[in-house]
Structure 1
Amino acid sequence: MSAHTVRFKQVDVFTAVPFKGNPLAVIFDADDLDTAQMKAIARWTNLSETTFLVKATDPAADYRVRIFTTEGELPFAGHPTLGTAHALLASGYQPKVPGKLMQQCGAGLVELKALDGGAWAFAAPRARVTPLPADLYPALADALRTDAVDFSAPPCGMDNGAPWLVVRVNSAAACLAIEPDAAALAHIVEAVGTHGLAVYGPHPADGPATYEVRCLMVGGSLGIGEDPVTGSANAALAELLSAQQRRPGLAYTARQGTVLGRAGSVSVEYDDAAGKTWIGGSSVTIVDGTFRLP
């Protein structure tokens, strides 16, 4: 292989159907790239995240990954964790322990396990919880332009490496109908140290999933941006449901990306005996080739 090319895959995460999930760029053999080069590549791919596979420095890890948005590096993110694992396994990598992977990233070690049908799940990192001050509840409802916020489940900032303000609304239909005021929302999310909002609402018992989820990023020239499918936010939601004693059982599913024409599917499993929450989903490779470097 030329010194100026590295292996590259672009994968779609939280879906088994191409173009229905959240895309991720994965750069292999990235040890010789410095941080500035990684930032430049991430800006060029122009995806929500680009990951770089580098040699692990922890002997317990199968691999190490650095995760970049177009703006900078993240210590952890969910769909890059599953997408990178998929890309690595598709390249022929054999895990140290069959059916398990240990990822090293900025947030430390993240455990993954194989699910049925070729999907994988990661053990959700614990989040730092910051309840939204109650005096901001009316402003939140006004900013979301809805009277469907369920304040009996207090909104909380949840930071597991990617911070989200998690907000419950009364139904999946109410979640899908939200058209927020970007400027008003920016002040509220900043109060709990986040730049994004994860809104969720329950589907009926015969619905396509247990919950509908939408992840809205606040700020920048677009005002409000929406993420197609978000592992970190679903991990934060799963932890908050447990903390607020609102778990729908030991397992549930979430649908995300509907408003964007996607069909993201996220599985959640609570393993109380081991003290772990597993966030899972399928991935599919879309592009497989090489990446040319300057």
Structure 2
Amino acid sequence: MNATPAAPRLRPFAQVDVFTDVPYRGNPLAVVVDAGGLDGGTMQQFANWTNLSETTFLLPPTQPEADYRVRIFTGSEEFPFAGHPTLGSAHAWLEAGGVPRCDGILVQECVAGLVRVKRDGARLAFAAPPLTRTGAVAEEDLVRIAAGLGLPREALLDATWLVNGPQWIGVLLESAGQVLAIRPDYAAMEGLKVGVIGPHPAGSAVDFEVRTFIPGDAAAEDPVTGSFNAGAAQWLIGSGRAPGSYLAAQGTVLGRAGRVHVEALGDDIWVGGSSVSCIEGFVLL
């Protein structure tokens, strides 16, 4: 016999702008702060309704080491991990009165496992999760990506799989100018999630420019992407192409001013940024 669904009730809700300290210049995230009792179908339906790249739902943890649990949904699927939802959820949890078990470090439980989030002054930063797939990208995919970016194949200086939940392919270009000049052809890249990164000239205010493209039924460029930046940092720092600490810009072409702070400390690479709550209230779920 099927259980009767619980009656909807008002639940605390926040809409957080992530990777920015200026409202409406980063990447927005919807957060249902108290999602107790909601099933996955209801979460998916609400995430589809918000029409944002991701919506998160905060729950009590099931593992003793964790401070809270989060489920992360796009409009069509659940993600095991994503970067800007991790930082935005941590921000919302703290603003709702959450107190971490360990001072200065939060432990988030998600489908991908436990993710550490630290307070870094006014910013939050997550420890980049291990990559579950790396390595060479098939030549036929690189040809498609080059066409989708409107570039000759030889302009792709290097490329690799960077999978840490989302199935990213990372592409390195010669310069930030090349990255900013891309006018994507999503049809050419159908079925591939592509992140592109290129260095700014020495002495610039930021070190790298990043753009991420997600072809599909709702082809889109993501404003600021924590998961890709985490994978790219592991790749670029590990190969000596980037210093152990750098600042990346993303969202410039979209009129955003996303700033992603990357720092390698010991065995960890921390990916961080500021967050600001733009909407607070209640949602009926």
Q: State TM-score, norm by structure 1.
A: 0.90
- Give the conservation status (yes or no) of the 8 Å contact 2:157–2:173: no
Alignment partner of 1:269 is 2:237 = no
1:241 is aligned to 236
Counterparts of 1:5-16 in structure 2 under 5 Å?
Answer: 5-16=10-21
- Give the conservation status (yes or no) of the 8 Å contact 1:149–1:170: no
Report the CA distance shift for 1:211/1:4 in structure 2 as closer, same or farther (over 3 A). Answer: same
2:222 is aligned to 227
Q: State TM-score, norm by structure 2.
A: 0.93
2:271 is aligned to 279
Aligned amino acid, residue 269 of structure 2 = T
In the TM superposition, residue 242 of structure 1 has moved relative to its aligned partner by 2.9
- Give the conservation status (yes or no) of the 8 Å contact 2:245–2:262: yes
1:37 is aligned to 42
Deviations 1:108-129 (A, max 9, x none): 000011112x210000001121
Task: Between 36-45 and 142-151, report the one with greater CA deviation.
Answer: 142-151
In the TM superposition, residue 97 of structure 1 has moved relative to its aligned partner by 1.0
- Give the conservation status (yes or no) of the 8 Å contact 2:171–2:194: yes
* CA RMSD of superposed structures (Å): 1.6
The alignment partner of 1:80 has SS state of helix
The percent of aligned pairs where both chains have the same amino acid is: 47
How far apart in 1 are the matches of 2:238 and 2:53? 29
In the TM superposition, residue 158 of structure 1 has moved relative to its aligned partner by 1.1
2:210 is aligned to 213
Unaligned runs of 5+ in 1: none
1:180 is aligned to 184
Count, aligned residues: 278
Counterparts of 1:1-294 in structure 2 under 5 Å?
Answer: 4-116=9-121, 118-127=122-131, 128-134=133-139, 136-147=141-152, 150-153=155-158, 155-186=159-190, 190=191, 195-220=192-217, 222=218, 224-247=219-242, 249-271=243-265, 273=266, 275-293=267-285
- Give the conservation status (yes or no) of the 8 Å contact 2:17–2:24: yes
Aligned amino acid, residue 249 of structure 2 = R
Query: Which portions of structure 1, spanning 4 or more consecutive aligned residues, are displaced by more than 6 angstroms?
Result: none
- Give the conservation status (yes or no) of the 8 Å contact 1:148–1:170: no
Report the CA distance shift for 1:136/1:108 in structure 2 as closer, same or farther (over 3 A). Answer: closer
In the TM superposition, residue 244 of structure 1 has moved relative to its aligned partner by 2.7
Unaligned runs of 5+ in 2: 1-6
How far apart in 1 are the matches of 2:157 and 2:254? 29
Aligned amino acid, residue 252 of structure 2 = T
- Give the conservation status (yes or no) of the 8 Å contact 2:146–2:156: no
Report the CA distance shift for 1:204/1:50 in structure 2 as closer, same or farther (over 3 A). Answer: same
Deviations 1:209-260 (A, max 9, x none): 110000111111x4x310000000100100111343312x210010000011
In the TM superposition, residue 135 of structure 1 has moved relative to its aligned partner by 5.2
